[in-house]
Amino acid sequence: MHSPTIKHRGAFVATLLTGTFSMSISQSSLSTAYPAFMKAFGLGADTVAWLTTGFMLVMTLMIPVSPWLLHNVTFRRLFQAIELIFAIGTGLCIWAPSFTVLMIGRLLEAIAVGIIFPSFQTVLLTITPHSERGRVMGTAGLVMGSALAVGPIISGVLLTWFPWQALFLFFLVVSLLVLAVSTVTIASVMPLQPTQLDWVSFLLSASFPILLYALGALSKKGLTVGVVGLLILGVLAAGTL
């Protein structure tokens, strides 16, 4: 199988990795900001932790959808949509007048990250000649691996001098820059193979986030009607998978 010909492959890869790297940083950077969120919204650490827990759950939920999107949406349009969703979510986080709005913004970010994580590896393998795949994938792995370590460092530096909104402002600026550059550097390199999305399986896979949320609520609120309902719903959905 021949790799697709791209006029400026270096710029394509740089844009793809920069966008993915900045999103990966957002995944790990909020842990150092918990005290600021707790003070700003008057909440406990267990509630604020959902900014990370909810993010991870939604990201995991979106990962299985990524292959379907790659084969049903041109990659140029998909990448720009991902950056736009991430930017909108980050903008909501900056504006957030309440923790609920902040949480919604984080979940939008998680949707974007859950789609881009599997996609960027598939795309890199597709556009890279076989003889160069080891070097390119090794570089990509180094970049993505370092992002998880760099996130808390960037967060700590920004929060030392600025309010917590500055952290999201940093992500927003990078995301908008990548989105602008992508109009020139990103090409549609994946062959389209239109298929139907298995909505039933996708919805049933939400049983695991529901179960985790219900178990967390159980320890905090006790055995209420709402918690019991979520537990039953999650168990029934998981049992059908």
Closest Cα to residue 153, out of 35, 49, 28? Answer: 28
Give domain limits for the chain: 9-194, 198-241
Amino acid at 62: M
Instruction: State pTM to two decimals.
Output: 0.85
Among the CATH numbers 2.60.120.10, 1.20.1250.20, 1.20.1280.50, 3.50.50.60, which is that of 9-194?
Answer: 1.20.1250.20
C-beta of residue 123 within 8 angstroms of C-beta of residue 190: yes
C-beta of residue 59 within 8 angstroms of C-beta of residue 155: no
Indicate whether 199 pLDDT > 80: no
Cα separation, 113 vs 82, whole angstroms: 8
What tokens does 177 get?
A: 């820059």
Indicate whether 108 pLDDT > 50: yes
Burial class (CB in 10 A: 0-12, 13-18, 19+), 59: buried
Band the pLDDT of 198: cuts 50, 70, 90.
confident
pLDDT in tens, 14-69: 899 899 998 988 888 888 899 999 999 999 888 898 898 889 888 888 888 888 89
Which residues lie below 8 Å from residue 80, measured CB to CB, with a gap of 6+?
179, 182, 183, 186
pLDDT in tens, 3-20: 555 667 788 988 998 999
Q: What is the mean pLDDT of the chain?
A: 83
